[in-house]
Amino acid sequence: MATAFHNLSDYDSQSVPSAEGMRFGIVVSEWNKEVTGGLLKGAYETLQKHGAKEEDITVLTVPGSFELVFGASRMLNSNRFDAIIAIGCVVRGDTPHFDYICEGTTQGLAELNRQGNIPVIYGLLMCNDMEQAEARSGGMLGNKGDECAITAIKMVDFSRQLS
C-alpha cells in the first residue's frame, strides 16, 4: 500500500491573516541543530512573509527539547508576545529516553496552553531516524516550521477576535 505524503509547507496563503503588529517568541532547541535550524528558518521566514517585522520576532535557544517547556514558560510570563512557538527535534534511540523526553515535553507545552491567554505552538518533531527529521525540516515533506508559524498567526487572530 502506498503512503500518501503531505508537504507541510503547502497551505492556502489567502486563508492566513496578516501578522503585521503581532509579536512572536520562538524558543528553539540546540539539540539536533541541523534539524531545528531548518525548522526555525521556516517559521521565521513564514512569519515575515505574512507581515511580521523582524523586531516583532524574538528567538531564544535552550539546550534540548525538554527545556522547551521552561523556555516557553519564561517567554509566556514576560508578557512580551502574542504567541510562542516551541521548536525541537527528538530522534528515537536505543533507550526509553525518547519516550520520556517526548511525553514530558508534550505534557509541559500542553499545560502552558491550558494556563495562559497566549497560545504556545507545538513544534516538536518526534522521529524514528534523522531521515524522517530532515524530510520534515525543509526536505521532501516540507517544513513543519512553516506550519507552526501559520498556526501561531491564526491563533493570535483567533484570540484577538475574542478580545
Just list the catalytic residues: 97
* List of residues 6+ apart from 68 with CB closer than 8 A: 27, 29, 62, 86, 87, 88, 105, 108, 109, 124
| CB contact at 8 A, 86 and 71 | yes
- Cα–Cα distance for residue pair 158/163, rounded to 1 Å: 9
